[in-house]
Structure 1
Amino acid sequence: MEISRVPYASAVGSLMYAMICTRPDIAHAVGAVSRFMANPGEEHWNAVKRVLRYIKGTSDVALCFGGSKFIVRGYVDSDYAGDLDKRKSTTGYVFKLAGGVVSWLSKLQTVVALSTTEAEYMAATQACKEAIWIQRLLEELGHKQNKITVYCDSQSALHIARNPAFHSRTKHIGVQYHFVREVVEKGDVDLEKICTKDNLADVMTKPVNTDKFVWSRSSYGLSAT
């Protein structure tokens, strides 16, 4: 197969459009195949075709919203050095409102984390930034959220975020990532511990088994219409 003749960029672009608009369930897969836009191989093209087949087989699936509770809940997670080329970690988060997800992300972190805790801490910062944006948007629309709860499965990252004291193991972390401490201290965001098996952001950072994937997809509010 001549990869140069394959419409790789076009296919990945189409998947990105679907993922950004209504299909958070393919976010991690699309993020993975998009890393090889410049020089894709046959295995990358096969992965793209697999995602396309999945989309075709679930074309009746849509994001559904319902219920009377207008409360935002966030979930954040990170793998550690999952990118084998650059050894960068992946940040993943989802935010739910009225039974469905309204914001999601699966993206490589911009710097190399030196530990699992550091990767989770940087991911928590990204999620808190998104939480503040959602909070302000809803307030402008007349739906004030006093505090948004974001769930994280890393106890170590939670400890660092809640304790602004000096930590020798975090002194090298960029200043921008300590934003999470400020919003937690001000009470704008409440970071809470959650078990990994219940973390909806888990599938945003790594491949999971079928049962976990189907459960997460349903929890996102994605269902057949």
Structure 2
Amino acid sequence: MLEAYGLRDAEPAALPMTPGSVLTPSDGKGSNLPYRALLGQLHWVAGCTRPDIVAAGSAFSRFYTTYGAEHFVALKQVVRYLKGTLQYELMQRCVFLSTTEVEIIAMSEGAREVKYILNVLDGLVYNTQSGAHVPTELGMQERTEIMVSDERHHVTDKAV
């Protein structure tokens, strides 16, 4: 595909489409360009192995009959993006055979995350003893009423 469209030595693109670019229908002066052929090839690639270019393919499909030279140049950016991302591979580590298996593995991963977070929290040093004794010790009551006079902060006092 790179050689067919003269992009063998082209600079790879970081994104399949330029952010913020707005394409408008053309008057059809680019009808001699192989826009439809390239678009069809990109749809095939997107359907088989590259779902990351589906949105770009969909955007360019809007101009299937009203394309121009600017559309063809923008479409070739998708090819340049593919050139720059040839090394991309699937990220899944294994193929699951059932939804039950997926749910079990997801629960296991979630439990591992919770265990990690609990280990991190255990490592934090905190002391709640002074706050726990305030509502129960009578000698502290007068001073704490001055420190926290708002009624909504006395929920623990009523709960004890």
TM-score, length-scaled by structure 2 = 0.41
Structure showing the higher strand proportion among its residues: 1
Structure showing the higher helix proportion among its residues: 2
TM-score, length-scaled by structure 1 = 0.30
